[in-house]
Structure 1
């Protein structure tokens, strides 16, 4: 079945114009050669984004000056479209292709090994489920059915809970932690209890209705200090002698005592204070009698009794006002106490009515009246005693009332915290009510959860019979790969998950022990071994897609050959039904090696934004060098290999034209050199960049880019003059047939 790939790319890395590559081949094992700066690293990084999407999108990938970038990779199998992946700098990664991409590039090395001093991380979790578990579909379906029933039951109960919580929401309780706990999972573990939700919600409403400036009633007070009941009892009970005056006189004085007393206080002894008439002898005699009487004991006692009578009348008035104040305080207290536990069940004291109190006082007044009629009598003070008891009871009730008023005032001062407490209490009590009223629903969910756990455990036990640890799989493969690449020089301890040298664990010291080439080989081995981290079931192996970017940096031939063998053995290593590999390299020799040994089957070249097929499968190093210096001649930046590329081309021409010439310098000075002789520093560039030293020492400054570019241009012109067909064959210039069409 043919493999169809299509890769489109624009706006990332060097791809400021559209790259559109299509391939239809019999194999998914593909190698692409690309020179430095052609964009192979960009392609590998885009595939790595598919493997590990990043948020936010790494803006460093976007081409300088471009508003956005877009990359797509579509795979087909014959006439069937298997799917695609897209990377859009605006929307991110969209993977519609059922592949497990695994990318090796310099970023992988940096993130997984270089940052850890080349000590591989053993922080690997999970298991790989064996093929035998593909027959557990019935068990999985049963597990899924129970899970669905549980979800439906939980959703139905959650809906009931939400409706029950609306009253609390209206009272501002949604902000407390206890409100969040009114959910199925939290209440599931609670025991069934009676609740007092109704009481708490009533209290909360009462407190919530209180105005912010609510004040307790005024304190209550009855001042009876002006009434000396002991003195009154004494006046009543003690007999007094009557005055020695005529009865008619006494009757008149008793009848008009107050008037007479007032006149006696204000008269001046000469004229009447009321009519202004001058006193005659008879008047003076009467005034003298009045004065004598008022100074008499009887008058004093009667005056004292009348004073008490006036005080009692005042007491009745004071009590009437107190009763009205008491009723207002009781009403206010009754409204505000409902929100406070310590007051809610305590009633405000109730005074005797003013009518009842007046009855008690009037009994005392009657006793005074009896005494007034005859002060010689011993009048019982029983009514005074009842009044004393009534006042004592009243004062006691006032103290109780004022204590409640103080407590109410204290609670009102903390009404804000009381609201919070009541909200918490109401939430807790609602939870109890819900747990009790929906007991059957909770029990059903608990039963389904128990059944689910049982089925899940049974399924896990069956899966465990053929599953293996991902960490163990990575360690085992890592040990085998290191043995194949390094022999016994470096080994891998599966127990310690560490590189060992001569039996000693290297750990973080691996960075200082391994050479650069050994580090590169180690990194690639770990990349291949870590493939097991992507696999959850054995069947997942056939979804693997390896993207490998230049795995042989700084390696000598032995390691290069070993890495090639690792790539060639990927199919056997993972027992793949089909191997998918995209290899990107700028090394011509490595490209030729993997193609010449049939490690990979499809050969392509990326150059100047185009991917073309390599027809004869191998690339001539000469052609690669020729393309490299042509790019510099046309404006590309020279690299550290540019001088060596010039030397390779010129020495190839020298050995073709006159093998007897001994050195490159001889060739440049001969007739074969043509106009190359005009570039006096050409040999200097080749010598310095090929051998790593400067001809005239470090006092000689390095050559600038423009100087090297002129040298490259001279070489291209030299070949165009003598062998223009080589430029066509290398793809530097189009053929005449192509140019005319």
Structure 2
């Protein structure tokens, strides 16, 4: 057997029945720090335990007179524990009890003394029906200690980095808002609300707009808009399609040849307007030329009579109609040229307005794309009429195709004219609505600011998300490691109570883990 390592000296005098020859003076050497004293009932164990309770903080108010031996004014309880392997390692507890005064406790053991006696039961367990309070929360550290210094340091670093990144994002958003306000944007505008952290994080669909700086320039240009700009005129194009019906009739008819000299007919055709006007003004009664006012001779009078006869003839009437229709076709060509010119001019006016009204950026008039084709058709039709004038008997079978193509191209021009008129009316309406244009620009400025800010903060948001994810993972790891080193306080209290009940009462008393109910031989106590 190994040599005892612990020497214990217990002295008790004038405490309860322990006085004179009955005082306790125990000295022994032990192999264990577990010591048990056994004694019969009524031999003074309670006096000893109550004296030990004076060591516990808050128990100094015990009446010392109740601890002293009757007739004694002072008493002592002292215990000395010495480790024999290191004699200088000595632990002492001394309790001095004096009549009518507070006990003097001197304790250099470093131990905490827990006293479980009948007083403890009466004060703490009996009032609870022998069911100690099991509502115990929290944990205590176990024997295994885990070094989390690096993890805790990294946790603080991540929190600082996250805060710094959040400050950068917040600052960028506030600067963007200020920039909008400086450009006259009211924070109550719906699009202003786009400059928001959550909306910037999740890419809102705002459509395509020009850059922020470009829109600022456009807003400045709108301020320079001249006053009283004239409306853009609508190009016009008018054609009486009935002319084509008469042309078809002329070209489809073979007119019989009259008995007129070809040379005479050509002369009349060349000077028809002059001859017709002269015949209209000539007065048969005076024989005077309506132009030069001279008296006409016999030969001149015969020529005038011949002219009148020709003009009254069917052939002359057909030739007159041919001339009129050729003139009508030439007027159509001239009208098309004027319409095309007016369209180009109106389009140029729209281009000039665009520098003040960006909303007109994609607005353009429809250009004439069938101009040359129609010119060719009309010119061909004129040539058919000229040939018909030379030979009234001839019929050209191709004229119907040409007439049909002319009508189709003219309808296309009418459709284009109608569409362009709608565009021009809308442009004139926009020109008059400066307030609406300014509002559109301000809304687009908010959208452009949103897109610019979203692009600039995209990496910051990604980095922030990554740092937050890293922090969560790190904290979860710390928590898991701390769980490995933590023990439930409730479980530990239960184990301790169960241990002492088993140790002191050899299984007679038990305690329920869930309710903390103390039982004696299976029956609830109390």
With the length of structure 2 as denominator, give the TM-score of the two structures: 0.51
Q: Deviations over 1:467-526 (max 9, x none)?
A: xxxxxxxxxxxxxxxxxxxxxxxxxxxxxxxxxxxxxxxxxxxxxxxxxxxxxxxxxxxx
1:179/1:254 CA distance change after superposition, 3 Å: closer
1:366 counterpart = 2:383: yes
Q: CA deviation at 1:419?
A: 3.5
Which of 297, 314, 325 is residue 308 of structure 1 equivalent to? 325
Tell me if the contact between 2:243 and 2:328 (Cα under 8 Å) persists in the aligned partners.
no
Match of 1:190 in 2: 202
Deviation at residue 314 of structure 1 after TM alignment:
2.3
Q: Could you tell me which residue of structure 2 aligns to residue 287 of structure 1? A: 304
Q: How does 1:432-443 map to 2 (within 5 A)?
A: 432-443=451-462
Match of 2:165 in 1: 153
Q: Give the superposition deviation at 1:414.
A: 4.1
Q: CA deviation at 1:313?
A: 2.3
Deviation by residue 1:692-713 (Cα, 9 ceiling, x = unmatched): xxxxxxxxxxxxxxxxxxxxxx
For 2:420, which of 401, 404, 425 is the aligned residue? Answer: 401
| Structure 1 position 443, deviation (Å) | 2.7
Q: Quote the offset at 1:303 in angstroms.
A: 0.9
Shift of 1:241: 2.0
1:391 is aligned to 2:410:
yes
Structure 2 match to 1:105: none
The Cα shift of 1:359 comes to 3.1
Report if aligned partners of 1:179, 1:427 keep a CA contact under 8 Å in 2.
yes
CA offsets 1:554-576 (integer angstroms, 9 cap, x no match): xxxxxxxxxxxxxxxxxxxxxxx
Give the Å deviation of 1:422.
4.4
How far did residue 229 of structure 1 move? 1.4
Shift of 1:179: 6.5
Task: Tell me the equivalent position of 1:512.
Answer: none
Distance 2:426 2:230 in 1: 12
CA contact 2:200–2:453 (8 Å) conserved in 1: no
CA 1:451 to 1:376, structure 2 compared with 1: closer, same or farther past 3 Å?
A: same
* Match for residue 293 of structure 2 among 258, 276, 281: 276
User: Is the 1:243–1:298 Cα contact (8 Å) retained in structure 2?
Assistant: yes
Paired residue for 1:237?
Answer: 252
1:182–1:431 Cα contact (<8 Å) kept: yes
Instruction: Tell me the residue number matched to 2:393.
Output: 376
Q: Which residue of 2 aligns with 1:490?
A: none
Shift, 1:442, TM fit: 1.1
Q: What is the alpha-carbon distance in structure 1 between the residues aligned to residue 411 and residue 337 of structure 2?
A: 17
Asked if structure 2 preserves the Cα contact closer than 8 Å seen for 1:171 and 1:205, the reply is: no
Within a 5 Å distance, the mapping from 1:555-704 to structure 2 comes to: none
1:45-70 CA distances to partner (integer Å, 9 max, x unpaired)? xxxxxxxxxxxxxxxxxxxxxxxxxx
Per the alignment, residue 261 of structure 2 pairs with 246
Q: What's the offset of the Cα at 1:358?
A: 3.3
> d(CA) in 1 for partners of 2:365 and 2:186?
34
Query: How far apart are the structure 1 equivalents of 2:370 and 2:424?
Result: 21
Q: CA deviation at 1:149?
A: 2.9
Residue deviations 1:340-379, cap 9 Å, x none?
A: 77x7656521114765543332222211110111112223
> In structure 2, the residue corresponding to 1:283 is in which secondary structure?
helix
Paired with 1:194 and 1:178, the residues of 2 have a C-alpha distance of 12
Aligned to 1:516: none
Deviates more, 1:164-173 or 1:277-286: 164-173
Report the Cα distance in structure 1 between the residues aligned to 2:363 and 2:322, rounded to whole angstroms.
Answer: 42
CA distance in 2, matches of 1:241, 1:171: 84
Question: Which blocks of at least 5 consecutive residues in structure 2 are unaligned?
Answer: 1-149, 483-526
1:400-443 deviation line (CA, Å, top 9, x unaligned): 11122223334444452343244334423542453345322113
Whether 2:346 is the aligned partner of 1:329: answer yes
Cα contact 1:193–1:436 (8 A) shared by 2: no
* Structure 2 SS opposite 1:406: helix
Deviations 1:529-582 (A, max 9, x none): xxxxxxxxxxxxxxxxxxxxxxxxxxxxxxxxxxxxxxxxxxxxxxxxxxxxxx
Alignment CA distance shift 1:178-1:249 (3 Å): closer
1:255 maps onto 2:255 in alignment: no
Aligned to 2:508: none
**Residue-by-residue CA offset, 1:688-734 (whole Å, 9 max, x unaligned):** xxxxxxxxxxxxxxxxxxxxxxxxxxxxxxxxxxxxxxxxxxxxxxx
- How much does 1:227 deviate? 6.4
- Partner SS, residue 246 of structure 2: helix
Give the Cα separation in 1 of the matches to 2:421 and 2:459. Answer: 51
Map of 1:416 onto structure 2: 435
Q: Is the 8 A contact 1:139 1:455 kept in 2?
A: yes
Indicate conservation of the 8 Å contact 2:326/2:385, yes or no: yes
| Cα 1:278/1:235, change in 2 over 3 Å | same
1:143-200 deviations in whole A, cap 9, x for unaligned? 8755543343234445655777798678644655456546563445534779634389
User: Displacement of 1:325 after TM fit?
Assistant: 0.9
- Contact in 1 for aligned 2:201/2:458 (Cα 8 Å): no
Between 393-402 and 307-316, the greater mean CA deviation after superposition: 307-316
Give the structure 2 partner of residue 658 of structure 1.
none
How many residue pairs are counted as aligned between the two chains? 325
Deviation of 1:308 after TM superposition, in Å, equals: 1.6
Relative to structure 1, the CA distance from residue 354 to residue 280 in structure 2 (aligned partners, 3 Å threshold; closer, same or farther) is same
Structure 1 pair 180–154 and aligned structure 2 pair: CA distance change class (3 A): farther
Cα 1:257–1:179 shift into 2, 3 Å: closer
Residues 250 and 142 of structure 1: is their aligned pair in 2 closer, same or farther, counting only changes over 3 Å?
Answer: closer
Cα–Cα, structure 1 residues 378 and 451, in superposed 2: closer, same or farther, change >3 Å?
same
- SS state at 2:294 partner: coil
In 2 relative to 1, CA 205–149 (structure 1 residues): closer, same or farther, beyond 3 Å?
Answer: same
Judging changes above 3 Å, is the alpha-carbon distance between structure 1 residues 208 and 329 closer, same or farther for their aligned structure 2 residues? farther
Find the residue that maps to 2:293 and give its secondary structure. Answer: coil
> What is the distance in 2 between the residues matched to 1:165 and 1:321?
53
* Range 267-276 or range 446-455, more displaced: 446-455
State the distance in 1 between where 2:377 and 2:475 align: 86
* Preserved contact between residue 365 and residue 423 of structure 2 (Cα < 8 Å): yes
